[in-house]
Amino acid sequence: MKVAVIGANGQLGTDVCEVFSSKHEIIPLTHQDIEIADIDSVKKVFSEMKPDVVVCTAAAHNVPKCESEPDVAFRINGIGSLNLAKISNDLGYKLVQYSTDYVFDGKKMKPYVETDAVFPQSVYAVTKYCGEQFVMNYCEKYFVIRVSGIYGQVPCRAKNNTNFIVNMINFAKTKPEVRVVNDEVLTPTPTREIAKNTLSLIETEGYDLYHMTCEGEVSWYEFAKTIFETMKFTTPLYPASVKDFPLVVKRPFYSVLENENLKKIGLNQMPHWKEALVSFLKENYGATE
């Protein structure tokens, strides 16, 4: 299949391109190649390219910036998704659109399944939910995939080329002590695992909404503790509360996702968060047992 990947130079897009290239022809697209908020740009690019699948990893996901620039966030996360969905129906390509655990408010305190009611708490979350709805209502061949706490070998450009792991390693090397919140619980997931499971999914016709995160759940503090232990850092690490930090944007304090729909079709290939983290640290940072 011919697969176009939007946001190909980003944290998730990089791994999607690399993983998919083992089986399919990849066309990497960046913002210079396509403007998803402009339907004429989307139509022109894909009419000429004629892809079988379009994977959109592009998003406005700097959460505080989305709050201060809601029009920009909606144009990318909402209108961009609508445009991709409309042209998908015109041209017949399968569309993969990634979304977020932030569509939930966290009050359930048990893992969320795809049928649970959403209650987005921020501009970012609302615009991503709008994107989900546009794709599912304007497009027939869609895979909407919610992910959580993603990290990859290429850090996030929208967050000053960092992710949680990059920050923890830098802090461990430069700060006298590190404090991490212990009351925000989720399931951090490496982008490579998401890419691998998405690859299996696009080869089906199981068009639906999917949760795609690692198994298990963990607080950011326990996640950081595993990083410190695996990397053998000796910098003191202490638990903290979200109340100890200025809250710029409302976030769900519990956003664990259950991969129920993947399990229903026998395609849940996601490892446990700890196994995935240790493997990632070994491969990318030379961690040893």
* pLDDT tens, residue by residue, 266-277: 999 999 999 999
**Residue 45: inside a domain:** yes
Please, is 175 exposed, middle or buried when counting C-beta atoms within 10 Å of its C-beta (0-12, 13-18, 19+)?
exposed
109/112 Cα distance (integer angstroms): 8
If one counts the domains in the chain, the total is 1
In this predicted model, what pLDDT tens digit does every residue of 144-155 receive, in sequence order? 999 999 999 886
pLDDT for position 153: 87
DSSP-assigned beta bridge partners for residue 94: 53
Give CA 112 to chain center in angstroms: 16
The CATH number covering residue 133 comes to 3.40.50.720
Note the pLDDT of residue 278: 96
- The reported pLDDT for the residue numbered 250 is 83
Residue span of the structural domain in which 64 resides = 2-153+186-217+255-271
Residue 50 falls inside a structural domain: yes
Query: Do the domain assignments include residue 89?
Result: yes
**Which class for 222: exposed (0-12), middle (13-18), buried (19 or more C-beta within 10 A)?**
middle
* 180 inside domain: no
Both tokens of residue 80? Answer: 């961009």
At 159 the pLDDT is: 54
How much is the pLDDT for 155?
A: 65
Task: Give pTM, 2 decimals.
Answer: 0.95
- Closest alpha carbon to 63 in 205, 158, 180: 158
- Read off the pLDDT of each residue in 223-229 and give the average, rounded to a whole number: 97
Q: Within a domain: residue 224?
A: no
Q: 257 pLDDT band (50/70/90 cuts)?
A: very high
Q: Considering only CA atoms, which of 85, 177, 167, 202 is closest in space to residue 132?
A: 85
- CA 252 to CA 186: how far, in whole Å? 9
Mean pLDDT of the chain: 94
pLDDT band at 245 (very low <50, low <70, confident <90, very high): confident
Nearest to 85 by CA among 54, 47, 63, 115: 54
- In degrees, to the nearest 5, what angle opens at C-alpha 139 toward C-alphas 215 and 56? 55
**pLDDT tens digits, one per residue of 21-65:** 999 999 999 999 999 999 999 999 999 999 999 999 999 989 999
Residue 63 lies in a domain: yes
What is the pLDDT averaged over residues 6-10?
95
Other residues' Cβ atoms within 10 Å of the Cβ of residue 41: 15
For 207, half-sphere exposure in the C-beta direction (CA atoms, 13 angstrom radius) is 14
In the beta sheet, which residues pair with residue 209? 144
Closest CA to 227 of 147, 268, 270, 173: 173
Q: Which two tokens stand for residue 289?
A: 């047992």
Using the predicted structure, report yes or no on whether residue 129 has a pLDDT greater than 60: yes
Secondary structure class of 271 (helix, strand, coil): coil
The C-alpha atoms of residue 20 and residue 153 are separated, in whole angstroms, by 16
d(CA 287, CA 68): 39
Calculate the dihedral angle through the C-alpha atoms of 249, 212, 276, 174, rounding to the nearest 10 degrees. Answer: -20
CB 233 within 8 A of CB 174: no
The pLDDT, as a whole number, for residue 160 is 57
Does some domain include residue 96? yes
Whether 30 maps to a domain, the answer reads: yes
What are the pLDDT digits (tens) for 163-205?
899 999 999 999 999 999 999 999 999 999 999 999 999 999 9
* pLDDT tens by residue, 83-95: 999 999 999 999 9
